[in-house]
């Protein structure tokens, strides 16, 4: 059996107001071509298919058109699980219809663990793999709240709840394996593991990173022949184990990811030993961050002009002179080119407008978490009282972000 592992498409995501549908369409076309060229039997899409729980019509069109195309290819099965950005009910709504095309969708943790088990069949309609399709597990799915519990208690219960759910689902898979023969067990998950690499601007900051970041490789049962993970945008191994993998996002989600080589993972379980290969994804839209003085920025733009680049740019002006018309200067310098400025940071001007704590901070760098920390600082909240308050705040924010707007 040969399958492809991909995740974190974030269909519908924009970059500072610029829609990216052409990039997403180009990636999906490329992925469909790879499935045919590599004779892939199954495709695993491991969460965050969409960027929001209410995706646009165009994002939905890309998704369903791709599923139809691949379902009519050599790929016999597609398995899709929800990530933290996805609406479980939205993904689940057409699941019965999609199943007729051998597209298996698990949008949320199910009442019965066996419902997260999918047996994939070969051309002769014989079992060829058992998939433990475990979607993003929300706090309320795996942890019960008790009065008086400490921050450590909450963290331990989250980890234990996740460990138990994987153990329950994989135990059922092992039982099926005994009945069906020596076929591989493949597990899916969308979560944050210990030591996972993230980058600035990828939008992956976990709302309870302090607890879920402590999940180690030993949480996942030993019976798993390959673990396909999503959530982190950097392709990487878990605990230095070759068969525990994040595929990463297929296109750079922000300028912090601009220099990453994006990949999908090709796994061949037909051989006696697992064969795992990384297929590099072409860059469909160049992103570049240019940082420095006006002279440094101008010199780099001139080089890009000579290369006839169509890059989208983030300009970070770090010079000592106050330049009030920086955007106008930068836009003028790009006249007659295919390049676009998506973001400008004028740190010198920002210094005059807001008071800052860190020398490299701008207003754009603050998020909801940062603002809350500023409030704690402003009200002189004692250090020893902060962990519990931050945990409670994160849970409230988590509930807001994870509310399924399609469930009504």
pLDDT (mean) for 273-301: 94
pLDDT at res. 57: 96
pTM for this model (two decimals): 0.84
Strand partners, 6: 45
Question: Higher model confidence: residue 363 or residue 324?
Answer: 324
In this predicted structure, the answer to whether residue 157 has a pLDDT above a threshold of 50 is yes
pLDDT at res. 150: 76
pLDDT at res. 143: 76
Strand partners, 265: 5, 278
Residue pair 13/54 in contact by the 8 Å Cβ criterion: no
pLDDT at res. 203: 54
| Chain segment 183-238, per-residue pLDDT in tens | 999 999 999 887 777 766 555 544 444 444 567 888 899 999 999 999 999 999 99
All domains of the chain, ordered by start, with CATH? 2-280 (3.60.21.10), 287-402 (3.30.160.720)
| Highest mean predicted confidence (pLDDT) among 99-103, 144-148, 160-164, 369-373 | 99-103
In this predicted structure, the answer to whether residue 304 has a pLDDT above a threshold of 50 is yes
What's the chain's length in residues?
A: 408
Task: Please count the other Cβ atoms lying within 10 Å of the Cβ belonging to residue 307.
Answer: 10
Percent of the chain with pLDDT over 90: 64
Mean pLDDT is lowest, of 133-142, 223-232, 280-289, for 133-142
In this predicted structure, the answer to whether residue 277 has a pLDDT above a threshold of 80 is yes
Mean pLDDT is lowest, of 111-125, 138-152, 238-252, for 138-152
pLDDT at res. 13: 94
Cα-based distances in Å from 38 to 7, 65, 75, 117, 127:
18, 21, 10, 26, 21
Please give, one letter per residue, the 3-state secondary structure of the chain: CEEEEECCCCECCEECCEECHHHHHHHHHHHHHHHHHCCCCEEEEECCCECCCCCCHHHHHHHHHHHHHHHCCCCCEEEEECCCCCCHHHHHCCHHHHHCCCEEEECCCCCCHHHHEEEEECCCCCEEEEEEECCCCCHHHHCCCCCCCCHHHHHHHHHHHHHHHHHHHHHHHHHHHHHHCCCCEEEEEECCCCCCCCCCCCCCCCCCHHHHCCCCHHHCCCCCCEEEEECCCCCEEECCEEEEEECCCCCCCCHHHCCCCCEEEEEECCCCCCEEEEEECCCCCCEEEEEECHHHHHHHHHHHHHCCCCCEEEEEECCCCCCCCHHHHHHHHCCCCCCEEEEEEEHHHHHHHCCCCCCCCCHHHCCHHHHHHHHHHHCCCCHHHHHHHHHHHHHHHHHHHHCCCCCC
As given in the structure block, the two tokens for residue 314 are: 């983030």
Question: Higher model confidence: residue 216 or residue 348?
Answer: 216
Residue pair 344/312 in contact by the 8 Å Cβ criterion: no
How far apart (Å, rounded) are the C-alpha atoms in residues 273 and 268? 9
How far apart (Å, rounded) are the C-alpha atoms in residues 369 and 361? 15
Residue 247 burial (10 A CB sphere; 0-12, 13-18, 19+):
buried
Question: Higher model confidence: residue 143 or residue 232?
Answer: 232
pLDDT at res. 360: 54
List the one residue out of 81, 87, 72, 66 whose CA is nearest residue 24.
Answer: 66
In this predicted structure, the answer to whether residue 356 has a pLDDT above a threshold of 50 is no
pLDDT (mean) for 43-55: 96
* Residue 380: pLDDT band with limits 50, 70, 90: confident
pLDDT at res. 211: 45
pLDDT (mean) for 299-317: 95
* Mean of pLDDT over the chain: 87
In this predicted structure, the answer to whether residue 310 has a pLDDT above a threshold of 60 is yes
* Residue 402: pLDDT band with limits 50, 70, 90: low
* Residue 362: pLDDT band with limits 50, 70, 90: low
């Amino acid at each position: 059996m040969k399958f492809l592992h991909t995740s974190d498409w974030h269909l519908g995501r924009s970059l500072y107001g610029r829609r990216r549908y052409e990039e997403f369409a180009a990636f999906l076309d490329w992925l469909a071509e790879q499935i045919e060229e590599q004779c892939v039997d199954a495709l695993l899409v491991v969460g965050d298919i969409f960027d929001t729980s209410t995706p646009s019509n165009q994002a939905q069109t890309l998704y369903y058109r791709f599923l139809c195309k691949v379902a009519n290819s050599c790929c016999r099965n597609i398995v899709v699980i929800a990530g933290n950005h996805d609406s479980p009910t939205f993904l689940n709504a057409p699941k019965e219809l999609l199943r007729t095309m051998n597209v298996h969708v698990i949008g949320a943790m199910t009442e019965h663990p066996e419902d997260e088990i999918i047996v994939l069949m070969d051309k002769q309609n014989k079992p060829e793999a058992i998939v433990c399709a475990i979607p993003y597990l929300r706090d309320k799915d795996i942890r019960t709240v008790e009065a008086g519990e400490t921050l450590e208690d909450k963290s331990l219960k989250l980890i234990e709840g996740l460990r138990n759910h994987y153990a329950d689902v994989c135990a059922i898979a092992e039982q099926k394996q005994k009945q069906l023969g020596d076929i591989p067990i493949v597990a899916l998950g969308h979560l944050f593991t210990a030591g996972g690499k993230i980058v600035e601007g990828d939008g992956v900051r976990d709302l309870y990173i302090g607890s879920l970041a402590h999940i180690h490789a030993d949480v996942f049962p030993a019976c798993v022949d390959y673990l396909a993970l999503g959530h982190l945008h950097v392709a990487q191994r878990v605990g230095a184990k070759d068969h525990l993998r994040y595929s990463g996002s297929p296109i750079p989600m922000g300028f912090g990811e601009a220099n990453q080589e994006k990949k999908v993972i090709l796994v061949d379980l037909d051989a006696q030993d697992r064969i795992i290969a990384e297929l590099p994804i072409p860059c469909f839209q160049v992103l570049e961050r240019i940082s420095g003085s006006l002279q440094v920025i101008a010199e780099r733009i001139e080089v890009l002009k000579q290369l006839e680049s169509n890059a989208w740019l983030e300009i970070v002006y770090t010079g000592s002179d106050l330049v009030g018309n920086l955007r106008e200067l930068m836009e003028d310098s790009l006249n007659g080119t295919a390049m676009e400025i998506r973001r400008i940071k004028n740190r010198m001007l920002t210094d005059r407008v807001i008071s800052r704590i860190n020398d490299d901070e701008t207003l754009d760098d603050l998020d909801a978490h940062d603002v809350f920390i500023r409030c704690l600082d402003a009200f002189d909240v004692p250090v020893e009282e902060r962990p519990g308050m931050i945990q409670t705040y994160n849970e409230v924010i988590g509930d807001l972000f994870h509310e399924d707007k399609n469930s009504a």
